[in-house]
Amino acid sequence: MKTRTVELIASPKEPHFVGDGFRVHNFIPSGYRLDMQRVNPFILLDYNSPYKFPPSSQPKGVGVHPHRGFETVTIAYKGKVEHHDSSGGGGVIGEGDVQWMTAASGVLHKEYHEREWSKSGGEFQMVQLWVNLPAKYKMSPPKYQAIKNKTIPRHVLEDNAGQIEVIAGAYKDVKGVASTFTPLHMMNAKLNKGGKADFEFPAHYNTVLLVLEGSIVINGSEKMPTNHLALMANDGENFTIEAGEDAVVLVLSGAPIDEPIAAHGPFVMNSKEELMEAFNDFNNGKFGYLED
Amino acid sequence: MKHTTFKTFLTSNLMIEEKEIISILENCKVKQVKKDEFLLRKNEHCSHTFFVEKGLLRQYSIDNKGKEHVLSFAPENWFVTDRESSYFNQPSVYFIQALEDSQVVFLDESFIQMLSNKVPNFTDFNNRLLHNHIRHLQNRINHLLSTNAEDRYLQFVKMYPDILLRVPQTMVASYLGITPESLSRVRKELAKKNFKG
């Protein structure tokens, strides 16, 4: 077994607003080495670092928009999000919860700060991920996995180092709750100061770490501050992280999907023709209808 | 919807050497325009034709009741200008505004003149562009006079497949000459017909 080294540590870009409710640093897809193909199956990562929203009687968020060809995963760390979609589905993603939406053949949805939460306002912290689907599942029926925080399995680390919340895939003997279309791991490492955790994923799995709280040291030498993202090289299986102070780290590792990517706006397909079809289907109501 | 530079646009449509185009292009400016920024305001003189390399512009007027009317959207690869102002030297009645952060090529009259002089088939090409533009305007007038909201909408999405996802629905409704409520109704009815979810 070889050590997986750090390929790149990316600092957070200037935040921008998605709608008026999400103030995010975009890490993927962006510029140098963080394009869709390099980090695939993780084709988008937007991070809303902690941000205080003032009280608002009109919930802030993003209006009706479509998706096709991938899954969206929302991990709520602070704050609450309410969502609705064109098939009549909807729900509230509370603190610590994860919502895994398989858009696949297509959904229209909208997402806003939860009404009551919006009235009082407060600190909001969230990760939005897009996970690509292989060609054979891109047009499968949409579905949801609403994962409540208390149902997320945990591996408690030795020596009071902290714990690993396994959302998908596995950490040692603990398996995550979310079902995935391709092999991938998604987990929150919640480490106490000085706490250490070791990870092992196949070398060809594309792997990134996002530090949400505190700071960490990777493989005993690479320091990584809050709000930074590490792209790990594909040169080994094992790496360790150690918390310089109490830390929360999102760990993602997945088997690359070896297919062409054609992406534009909210659609991620394999070819330009399929993209055009997505726009046509959306324009012609094939995604359904949802009131703004 | 794809980022196309003006250079690529010209070389793929004109008989011209790469080297030559580079020296010609030194005579026009490429500018970064921020979302909401104006490239033309009412009563100003429009001295440029704008070519959109990246982003999205809209041309619109405001009537005496203060209501906006969208004449056109100009996404990637489109030209937009006020010809009455630029060619016939009248003060403009239009606004041209960026709806997204955009990269825009500013072409003035002397630049167009230079292209005509230096590039043999530019005049033919420019004629084709003009005819195409006139055809588009004819169709637009005809649709506004003779078709219902749904037909106008279907025509619109055929020409502008991704605009609905880039601008507020009120602007699309304004372009179509219908109320936002009518646009919602059209989209709802299409969904009823075509959604098999």
Query: Nearest 5°: phi and psi at A245?
Result: -150, 175
CATH topology for B6-120? Answer: Jelly Rolls (2.60.120)
Residue A213 resides in a domain: yes
A283: nearest CB among B161, B189, B196:
B161
Alpha-carbon distance B167 to B157, whole Å?
Answer: 13
- Chain B residues with CB inside 8 Å of A285's CB? 187-195
3-state secondary structure at position A140: coil
Chain A residue with minimum CA distance to B186: A285
H or E segment at B134? helix B122-146
Residue A248 resides in a domain: yes
A119 contacts A94 by C-beta, under 8 angstroms: no
Local confidence band at B1 (pLDDT 50, 70, 90 cut-offs): very low
Local confidence band at B2 (pLDDT 50, 70, 90 cut-offs): low
Query: Nearest 5°: phi and psi at A71?
Result: -115, 145
The count of domains in chain A is 1
Q: Residue A28's closest CA among A19, A16, A17, A37?
A: A37
Whether pLDDT at B114 is above 70: yes
Local confidence band at B197 (pLDDT 50, 70, 90 cut-offs): low
pLDDT digits (tens, 9 = 90+) for A46-98: 999 999 999 999 999 999 999 999 999 999 999 999 999 887 778 999 999 99
> Terminal CA-to-CA distance of chain B, rounded, Å?
28
Give me the residues of A, 67-126, that contact B with CB < 8 A.
Answer: 86-87, 106
Residue A287 resides in a domain: no
Residue A274 resides in a domain: no
Mean pLDDT of B3-19: 84
Write the secondary structure of A158-219 as one string of H (helix), E (strand) and C (coil). Answer: HHHCEEEEEEECEECCEECCECCCCCEEEEEEEECCCCEEEEECCCCCEEEEEEEECCEEEC
CB atoms within 10 A of CB B130: 11
Residue A57 resides in a domain: yes
Read off the CATH number of the domain in which A165 is found. 2.60.120.10
Query: Nearest 5°: phi and psi at B121?
Result: -95, 15
Is the CB of A193 inside 8 Å of chain B's CB atoms? no
Quote ipTM for the complex.
0.82
A21 contacts A59 by C-beta, under 8 angstroms: yes
- Note down the domain range covering A238: 6-254
Alpha-carbon distance A81 to B78, whole Å?
Answer: 38
Chain B residue with minimum CA distance to A280: B161
Mean pLDDT of A189-206: 98
Residue A217 resides in a domain: yes
B187: nearest CB among A276, A279, A285:
A285
